[in-house]
Amino acid sequence: MDIRDASAVNRALKKHYAAHKAPVVEFIAIQTKDPFRVLVTTILSARTKDETTSQAAQRLFAVMKTLADLRAIPENELARLIFPVGFYRTKAKHLKQLPAALDAKFGGVIPSTVEELIQLPGVGRKTANLVVAVAFNKPAICVDVHVHRICNRLGLLVTRDPFETEMTLRRILPRRYWITWNAYLVSFGQTLCRPIGPKCGICPIRKYCDRIGVAD
């Protein structure tokens, strides 16, 4: 794929995305437009399937609406509510630390930049970028395994890890595509451009791909 094809590829990915269920973080944002819920859901979603994340988020938000509620819930109760998300005990610990960290660093307000968000417990660059893009509708490139894999498979770039992919995309991808790039590629990676057995025969961007049929 050549970067000059970005517009055509983005249109095709947008159409595919519209025909499928939105990734869970985007779904939470559509429902609530609440940065706090988007942040919590994004923390839960790391290394966890969307269905599991969605169920855990529903259980958690049934008893927790605000930072004050989160502050009052014991850590072992948080762990019980979010089980079986990946690394649920570690995530419960980070969630329990979140209110104090927000109070100390940002006056109890969810920050809206990557540089600020990564100062919070349990928040890395992927989570921070996703919160900035989804919760605040600001240009940010969230790179997860789907984005990293598909961008390399397409031949748009050649990178060793998600951080390098993010930095490369920041240089070459027009900013107008940044906010939605993750959502489109996550949906595409979950349904068509899978790591093993990609459905190349029905792929809407087949002609732009440098590695048709090649599993990573």
The CATH code of the domain that includes 164 is 1.10.1670.10
- If asked whether residues 121 and 30 sit together in one domain, one would say yes
Is residue 17 situated within a structural domain? yes
Q: How many beta carbons lie within 10 A of that of residue 172, not counting itself? A: 11
pLDDT of 211: 72
Angle ∠(115,116,122) on CA atoms, nearest 5: 100
- In tens digits, the chain (216 residues) has pLDDT values of 999 999 999 999 999 999 998 888 887 877 777 999 999 999 999 999 989 999 999 999 999 999 999 999 999 999 999 999 999 999 999 999 999 999 999 999 999 999 999 999 999 999 999 999 999 999 999 999 999 999 999 999 999 999 999 999 999 999 999 999 999 999 999 999 999 999 999 999 999 998 765 555
Pick the closest to residue 179 from 126, 118, 134 (CA basis): 134
Is residue 94 situated within a structural domain? yes
CA–CA dist 98, 96 (Å, integer): 6
pLDDT of 102: 97
Q: Which domain does 183 fall in, by range?
A: 3-21+140-208
- If asked whether residues 83 and 125 sit together in one domain, one would say yes
- If asked whether residues 28 and 86 sit together in one domain, one would say yes
Last residue of a domain, one of 110, 136, 162: 136
